[in-house]
Amino acid sequence: MNLDSAIERTLAYHQRTKHHLHQYARSPGFLDWATQPNPFRTYAGAPHIELELLADRVASSYGDLFQLGVIPPQSIGVETIGILFELSLGLSAWKQYEGSRWALRCNPSSGNLHPTEGYLIVPEMPSLTGGVYHYVSRDHSLEHRCLLNQVAHADLPGPLSPNGFLVGLSSIHWREAWKYGERAFRYCQHDVGHAIASVRFASAALGWSARLLDAPGDSEVATLLGLDRDADFADGTAADREHPDVLLLVSNAAPSSLPLYLALRPLSSGTWEGGANPLSPQHVDWPVIDEVAKATWKPETAPMETFRPAALPPLIPSSQVATATLIRQRRSCLALDGKTSISADTFYRMLDSLLPRPGVPPWDVLPWAPRLHLGLFVHRVHGLTPGLYLLERDAAVHERIRPALRNVFLWKRPPGCPEHLRLWCLAESDLRDVSRTVSCSQEIASDGAFSFGMLAEFGNTIRHGGPWWYRRLFWEAGVLGQMLYLEAEAAGLRSTGIGCYFDDVFHDLLGIRTDGFQSLYHFTVGRPVEDTRLTTLGPYSHLKQKKSIPAGP
């Protein structure tokens, strides 16, 4: 496929998978429980390493994450790597209702279907044999997929040793397509974004840096993670193959010393172990997902010049709750109370956390400048008139976004808004009904303090940057979502990512007529109403032999 047709197909996929008021994107329309994919991938036959549950030993508080140099870097070893996975992709609880039980994880996922798989690539270290590992969140264990011999060890990128390691992420599209059909590819990308931010927050809790490596191509990532090993995906696993997504370099060196580029060579001389488990007895094909996956397949590219954000006033210190507690208590709200107002300071602090600051997580993990901005429905914020607002996460977007929106908008600065926060009131009105309608009539969008759609600089980014930017824009949306999930918890509130929204209804409201800007994800924040019918169990309560190990005296 040449570049022009890849771009065309990518844009066509986006258009085709929009939900419209009277027509949703194509999906099965019902849940076929007989083919529900297993949410846990395993590689039978690969040697196992059981990790301990040590996250309660993490001393940092949530507020510490955003203050430079406050958390001393921990040494890298099997225990701290275990904590990184426990607090990023690990289980956070089990929920139980009548005869059903389901696991929740630190990273959220559309429909709780969890298409994202996590990998570790480490050099030899005293507490851990070098190689490629697959993380099994259900068991909090690592499967040793590739054992390095000496030749393969020499193939590991130099900067990994002794200060760093790689975390790899991949997606099983079928897990989301089983329920959501054609729109599922979007949700898989959101989930990758949430996982990227989850890894960034967990690494920050250990005093570590992390950075997305933008140069490697998907083929290289697949080879490095062993995803292209056909022999390991035999016996009915063809449709639940993993699509390579991203490599994150994690290091206990300072963020400024992380290399822009790592020479990656396939670990072909290592010994690979284990075969993937089939996830469903049968599959339904969604050819447009395969097509868009192909169209957005990333080639190897030159490393991009890292975006250096301007210095901003430091974030106002927030919750002193232990990071591990806050990360594991993160939940999506199922209902909001429809009455609680939040203070303007809380609102501004939440929005402020979405602006990149040098060396501050999660934004320092992405090497590019912000390409997503928020179109907000403010419902209940003390001192702010309810209405439609816009947050520009980058000053440069103003001259592009203003002409793209309705020319009747007010462009008024809200009272008391910090100067560096580019928040504009566009229209004053009670938009509760509108916001609910836009988000597929979900009441969580109108019953909170505020909700919003994330407006990406869309068409030009994909036409000029390459079709793989389609995935990256969704990743940025997922990072935004993860940041706000934690911010909401820290403020004693709760939030939910909203993948179901009527794309063009939102665009029409704003006056958007071209693909210059497109909404890629919606979100809501407010005071939750708990569902008391559900019972909550500990994240690893199903494993009798695994107990959380608290900090020593």
Where does this chain bind ligand FMN (CB under 6 A)?
104, 108-112, 187, 190-191, 194, 331-332, 442, 444, 496-500
Closest to ligand FMN by CB, 226 or 499: 499
Instruction: For residues 313 and 400, give the distance between their C-alpha atoms in angstroms, rounded to a whole number.
Output: 26
**Tokens linked to 447:** 């019953």
Instruction: For residues 142 and 135, give the distance between their C-alpha atoms in angstroms, rounded to a whole number.
Output: 5
Question: CB of 248: closest distance to ligand FMN in angstroms?
Answer: 19
DSSP string, 501-534: -BHHHHHHHHT--STTEEEEEEEEEE-B---TT-
503, 19 in Cβ contact below 8 A?
A: yes
> CA 505, 502, 453 angle in degrees (round to 5)?
85
Closest to ligand FMN by CB, 19 or 357: 19
Closest to ligand FMN by CB, 61 or 189: 189
Closest to ligand FMN by CB, 190 or 357: 190
Instruction: For residues 31 and 26, give the distance between their C-alpha atoms in angstroms, rounded to a whole number.
Output: 14
Closest to ligand FMN by CB, 104 or 246: 104
Question: CB of 488: closest distance to ligand FMN in angstroms?
Answer: 11
Closest to ligand FMN by CB, 190 or 243: 190
Question: CB of 32: closest distance to ligand FMN in angstroms?
Answer: 19
Element (H, E) at 212: strand 209-212
Identify the bridge partners of residue 247 per DSSP, sorted by sequence position: 168
Closest to ligand FMN by CB, 87 or 222: 87
Please state the φ and ψ torsions of residue 494, each to the nearest 5 degrees: -150, 160
Closest to ligand FMN by CB, 21 or 410: 21
Question: CB of 42: closest distance to ligand FMN in angstroms?
Answer: 21
356, 363 in Cβ contact below 8 A?
A: yes
**Tokens linked to 310:** 């301007």
Closest to ligand FMN by CB, 62 or 187: 187
DSSP string, 328-343: HH--B-S-B-S---B-
Buried b or exposed e, range 1-40, using 16+ CB within 10 angstroms: eeeeebbebbbebbeebbbeeeebbebeeeeeeeeebebe
Instruction: For residues 463 and 11, give the distance between their C-alpha atoms in angstroms, rounded to a whole number.
Output: 9
Question: CB of 330: closest distance to ligand FMN in angstroms?
Answer: 7
Question: CB of 531: closest distance to ligand FMN in angstroms?
Answer: 11
Instruction: For residues 60 and 207, give the distance between their C-alpha atoms in angstroms, rounded to a whole number.
Output: 9
Question: CB of 523: closest distance to ligand FMN in angstroms?
Answer: 9
Question: CB of 187: closest distance to ligand FMN in angstroms?
Answer: 5
Question: CB of 191: closest distance to ligand FMN in angstroms?
Answer: 6
Question: CB of 91: closest distance to ligand FMN in angstroms?
Answer: 10
Element (H, E) at 151: helix 150-155
Query: Tokens 């990308």 label which residue?
Result: 189
Closest to ligand FMN by CB, 145 or 186: 186
Identify the bridge partners of residue 453 per DSSP, sorted by sequence position: 375, 522
